[in-house]
Structure 1
Amino acid sequence: MARSVPLPPVAESEPRARPQNLILNLLGIYFPDAEGWLSSRSIVDVLADAGHGEPATRATLARMVRRGLVFRRVDGRRTLFALTPEARGIVEDGRRLVWERDPVNRTWDGSWTSLAFSMPESFQRQRHELRTRLSRAGFGAVRAGLWISPHDVDLDRVLDGLDLAEHIIVMRGVPSPPTTPEVVVAQAFDLDAVAIRYERFLDRWADVGRAHPASSEILMTNHLLRRARHDPRLPVEFLPENWPAETAARLYRTRYAEWHERARQDLLAEPV
């Protein structure tokens, strides 16, 4: 594989992609099944093109083995890695976000899921974890302790392991006058911030010129997933025209078609 191909610059405000996320993307995109093994040399080379040095990549691989995210085996002079079932589940969640979920909600039934919580001060850790999970599940905070989502959310999954049943109230319904859905959306969701994140994705990947396909694809996937996982995916009637999430999804598919097969063939042809 060719090395040291310049990649699109990252905005100063954009967090650097973590090596673990890039390794998950690399193995998940090109070798998602249980028989998909890739050498440490290829992983190191691809992540080098993505801006991570060999020591950091090898240390990350060792941590991922300990955490049960990748399997490791030795084949002659090569050390090979593959995703564990747990890691394949993580990758599959991301694949559904990128490929199966419509960037906007076109099938909304008009109902909202609301979750209110009140817990003791000693529950600081649980409070922080709950807010993080709610945000990732597409909820927005109307005010302190009251979160809403236009989706019929699987809250068993969101709340799993937090042991907060006594401290929350969940309901599903519609706002009543004088409250309107438009007021709820304006208070709970920062659409400008969501749009800016997608516009940065478009700025980075719309014109990439010459690029190494594997490192570009895993970085692009990581970049889009960060947006998709923090996008409340509001009903289309609350979104402005030309919502950039749809443009970002189309651009991702275009770049995928350009890069994916070439990258896969490069990886399959790795030297022994």
Structure 2
Amino acid sequence: MTSHAGGPPAQAEAPAPRHHQLIVSLFGLYARRHGGALQVAAIISLMQDIGVEPAGTRSSISRLKKRGVIDSVAVNGRSGYALASSVIETFIEGDERIFHPRRATATDRWLLATFTVPESQRNIRHKIRSSLIRMGFGSVTPGLWIAPGHLREEVLAHFDQHGLNEYLEFFMADHVGGADLHRNIDSWWDLPALDALYSDFLLNNAGLLASWRETDASITDPAADARAFADYLVLITQWRRLPYLDPGLPIAFLPADWNALGAERLFQELHALLSPRAERHAGRVIDAGLAGA
């Protein structure tokens, strides 16, 4: 991602998110605030603000439609797209994970999951295992999975929504003795890989925070808002997977130099700085398209 001339730099060293990932973030952030759908022209214009050519945007839109993430709709008589009804609940859950993450304490309970699937339904087994991983569960054994207890309602709702409850059993549990939880958590989750992701996030975005702190937020500047939008969309796309990979594990059981807390603070500061400016810019572009329809 290249720097923006005349303003705070974007995350130049960060691996550039894929176009379809950025579009998913765009819908998650702004479509629901503007009637649930976006005109194609607005999507293309906003993606151009972060250097994505129209052909790349159209190709990614087509891919997301085939995957069932978005549906074709008319927006004020023009071509547009809206989030598919099947994924809206997932986006609502994502709001909590991304913007209001919870971190368990050493005394909190754990959520255990086990499932039984007939050999003839391997596709169901894969779907359940993939969902458990995506929601942040660690694997104790091939048949027993564990997550912080505060995920209980989100997890139960997810598997009920997808019609998979008949294969699963869930339990709330306390750790009352046995092996050292520090050692076990390190084996149930890939902590070194997760810590490296947090470290990368800190490295890639610390300079961005310093630059935007020097910008006067009280001055309304459309050009600065456009730069903020570009930086914010990339920031959200980089960050949004981390609260799923780390389901809020207790700090007491994690390494002393765990990078998660610093990364969470950095994200929240950047979110506070960039979100209002980014919203203004996105609103201008989306509203201009609607007014011209």
Shorter-chain TM range is: 0.7 to 0.9
Task: Give the corresponding residue for 2:277.
Answer: 262
Partner of 2:219: none
Match of 1:126 among 108, 124, 127: 124
Go from structure 1 to structure 2 and tell me whether the alpha carbon gap of 1:186 and 1:90 turns closer, same or farther (over 3 Å shift): closer
Among all aligned residue pairs of Structure 1 and Structure 2, give the percentage whose two residues are the same amino acid.
25
Q: Find the counterpart in structure 1 of residue 114 from structure 2.
A: 116
Shift in Å at residue 56 of structure 1? Answer: 2.9
Bigger shift: 137-146 or 82-91? Answer: 82-91
The 3 A distance-change label for structure 1 pair 133 and 7 is same
**Could you say what secondary structure the match of 1:35 adopts?**
coil
Question: In the comparison of the two structures, how many residue pairs are matched?
Answer: 263
Find out whether 1:173 has 2:173 as its counterpart: yes
DSSP-derived class of the 1:149 partner = strand
State the alpha-carbon separation in 1 of the partners of residues 28 and 74 from structure 2.
18
Q: Give the Å deviation of 1:234.
A: 0.9
Q: 1:121 to 1:34 in 2, by over 3 A?
A: same
CA contact (8 A) 1:39 1:79 kept: yes
Structure 1 distance, partners of 2:166, 2:73, is 40
Is this contact kept in 2: 1:49–1:215, CA < 8 A? Answer: yes
Counterpart contact for 2:40–2:81, Cα < 8 Å: yes
**Cα gap change, 1:258 to 1:241, in 2 (>3 Å):** same
Unpaired runs of 5+ in structure 1? none
Q: In structure 1, give the amino acid aligned to 2:136.
A: G
| Structure 1 residues 253 and 174: CA distance shift in structure 2, 3 A | closer
The Cα of 1:35 is off from its aligned counterpart by: 2.8
1:151 to 149, 152, 164: 149
C-alpha RMSD of matched pairs (Å): 3.4
- Asked if the contact 1:139–1:232 (Cα under 8 Å) also holds between the matched residues in 2, the reply is yes
* 2:144 corresponds to 1:140: no
- Say if 1:126 and 1:178 are closer, same or farther in 2 by CA, change over 3 A: same
SS in 2 for 1:91: helix
Query: Can you give the 5+ residue segments of structure 2 that lack an aligned partner in the other structure?
Result: 213-223
CA shift at 1:169, angstroms? Answer: 4.5
Structure ranking higher in helix proportion = 2
Q: Is the 8 A contact 1:98 1:228 kept in 2?
A: yes
Alpha-carbon distance in 1 for matches of 2:122, 2:84? 33
Cα offset for 1:38?
4.3
- Kept in 1, the 8 Å contact 2:72–2:79? The answer is no
Provide TM-score, normalisation by structure 2. Answer: 0.73
TM-score with structure 1 setting the length: 0.77
Q: Is the 8 A contact 1:98 1:249 kept in 2?
A: no
Q: Shift in Å at residue 231 of structure 1?
A: 0.8
Listed as ranges, the matches of 1:20-31 within 5 Å are 20-31=20-31
- The answer to whether the 8 Å contact 2:149/2:172 transfers is no
Asked whether the equivalents of residues 71 and 81 of structure 1 are also in contact (C-alpha less than 8 Å), the reply is: yes
Q: Deviations over 1:105-155 (max 9, x none)?
A: 24x644322223454444332222222211222211122222112315244
Is the 1:70–1:81 contact (alpha carbons within 8 Å) kept by the matching residues of 2? yes
Residue 163 to residue 235, structure 1, CA distance change in 2 (3 Å) = same
Residue pairs, 1:207-246, within 5 angstroms? 207-208=207-208, 209=211, 212-241=227-256, 243-246=258-261
